[in-house]
Amino acid sequence: MAATTVSVSEETRRELMGLKHERGKGSVDELLQDLLVEYRKMRFHEAAGLFRERLSESDLDVEDLIE
């Protein structure tokens, strides 16, 4: 895998290193990959919640959508 450099403040670097150790990750890259997965899951759950909310406001239910 090719590597690149990303500029971050010293404070951000300290926080990333702290999280890396706290979560037992071998590298900041591994930590960031995990954080990205968590972020995507969070966005998915937000979208699912919005979908459920809008579905409940409509005359449809889940059965209508899968037919």
Give the pLDDT band (50/70/90) at residue 60.
confident
Q: Is 16 exposed, middle or buried (0-12, 13-18, 19+ CB in 10 A)?
A: middle
- Among 32, 39, 34, 33, smallest CA distance to 15 is for 32
Examine the pLDDT at 1 and tell me if it is beyond 80: no
Examine the pLDDT at 62 and tell me if it is beyond 80: no
Amino acid residing at 67: E
Q: pLDDT tens digits for 15-57?
A: 999 999 999 999 999 999 999 999 999 999 999 999 989 888 8
User: What is the radius of gyration, based on Cα positions, of the chain?
Assistant: 19
Residue 23's pLDDT is what? 97
Residue 52 in contact with residue 61, Cβ under 8 Å?
Answer: no
